[in-house]
Amino acid sequence: DLSAVTILVPGKMNPDTLDTLKATFDVEHLAGRKLEDLSEERRQAIRGIAQMGQVPAAMIDALPNLELIANFGVGYDGVDTAHATKKGVVVTNTPEVLTEEVADITLALVLMTTRELGAAERHLREGKWESEGPYPLTQTTLRGRTAGIMGLGRIGLAIARRLEGFDVKIEYHNRSKRDDVAYPYHADLLSLAKSVDTLIVAAPGGASTEKAVNAEVLKALGSDGILVNIGRGTTVDEPALIEALENGTIRGAGLDVFEKEPHVPERLKALPNTVLLPHVGSASRHTRAEMGKLVVGNLVEWFSGRAPVTPVSESVEAGIARKG
């Protein structure tokens, strides 16, 4: 009986998903309250978490009967997965259902950045087309560019497919070479940055990618270089990026993600050669609904005694994502 299973929703949640969760499970939505505000009995009852934010080790430790954390999003760097795995708690995410949507937004950032579309649109809205004349010719073009994708996974491949349609050459860097693509592989990011003029980050966040795109990588990208980041803000050394943009070390940047969201540094906002989006990669009603269904699906399967739909690799490798 799923209505007897208690699921914690710590923070904000997609409204339709929250409705479905409430119709299916016994939901404890904190909505501003703290975990400590719950009674001991209530905390003990919690067996699952559905969340769009952070699950630190302390939250996992405070819930002795926790079995599964259903992360709303494919990137689960907000969950202390190592700690969860150690305690036998399964983590699930929402792969595939958002891949095409995020790849679309990546191409939008590539086009907006190379052709200065944000600035051109402001030129029109501010009446300058009429008062001052045409928007200046852009410094850059997508023609003849080579894109380097850091993180050629599900989203990276969907980006590559789109770029092929734009006649852009593609190279990539992952920790391991893929045997299903012919794109040139670079075992290190610096080598990729040296080889291309458009660096696209579609890798996960977390310790393994932290500040990987640093001053040296940006310098290697070069003065005609464009950086597009739709992965995680933590993967880019943000102060180094600001310096590189201010000094003309690279030409421009298109960013959907930032180091300390929702805070975006004033210096970044002041730069004319940036296109800045408030982490909207997957943020359509359509795709968020699909993600929500997968969050609910993972919880329903697990608490019906079956394997979760989309456990993360750490849970699979630890052998804990089997039938509940």
Residues 61-100 that bind ligand NDP (CB under 6 A): 74-75, 95, 98
Options 13-21, 50-58, 119-127, 150-158: segment touching ligand NDP (CB under 6 A):
150-158
- Can you tell me the distance from the alpha carbon of 167 to that of 169, in angstroms, rounded to the nearest whole number? 6
> According to CB under 6 A, which one of 160, 230, 244, 245 is a site residue for ligand NDP?
230
> According to CB under 6 A, which one of 252, 281, 308, 311 is a site residue for ligand NDP?
281
- Can you tell me the distance from the alpha carbon of 85 to that of 318, in angstroms, rounded to the nearest whole number? 7
Sign of torsion over alpha carbons 16, 17, 18, 21: positive
Options 122-130, 149-157, 243-251, 314-322: segment touching ligand NDP (CB under 6 A):
149-157
Minimum Å distance from CB 121 to ligand NDP? 22
Two tokens, residue 30: 């904190």
Q: How many CB atoms lie within 10 A of CB 269?
A: 9
> According to CB under 6 A, which one of 138, 146, 174, 284 is a site residue for ligand NDP?
174
Minimum Å distance from CB 31 to ligand NDP? 23
Provide the 3-class DSSP secondary structure of residue 260: strand
Options 110-118, 171-179, 268-276, 296-304: segment touching ligand NDP (CB under 6 A):
171-179
Q: Which is nearer to ligand NDP, 35 or 283 (CB)?
A: 283
Minimum Å distance from CB 285 to ligand NDP? 15
* 273 forms part of the interface with ligand NDP (CB under 6 A): no
Minimum Å distance from CB 125 to ligand NDP? 26
Closest to 277 measured CA to CA, from 75, 108, 154: 108
> According to CB under 6 A, which one of 257, 268, 291, 320 is a site residue for ligand NDP?
257
Please say whether the beta carbons of 226 and 140 come within 8 A: yes
Please enumerate in sequence order all residues whose Cβ is within 8 A of that of 309, keeping only pairs 6 or more positions apart, or say none: 92, 294, 297, 298, 301
Burial of 143 (0-12, 13-18, 19+ CB in 10 A): exposed
Closest to 302 measured CA to CA, from 26, 86, 68, 79: 68
Minimum Å distance from CB 130 to ligand NDP? 36
**Binding residues for ligand NDP, total number by CB under 6 A:** 30
Tell me which residues are annotated as active site.
Answer: 232, 261, 279
* 284 forms part of the interface with ligand NDP (CB under 6 A): no
- Three-class DSSP labels, 147-162: EEEECCCHHHHHHHHH
* 153 forms part of the interface with ligand NDP (CB under 6 A): yes
Q: Strand 90-92: give its sheet, edge to edge.
A: 26-29, 6-9, 46-51, 68-71, 90-92
Question: Which residues here bind ligand NDP, judged by CB under 6 A?
Answer: 74-75, 95, 98, 102, 150-156, 173-176, 202-205, 208-209, 230-232, 256-257, 279, 281-282
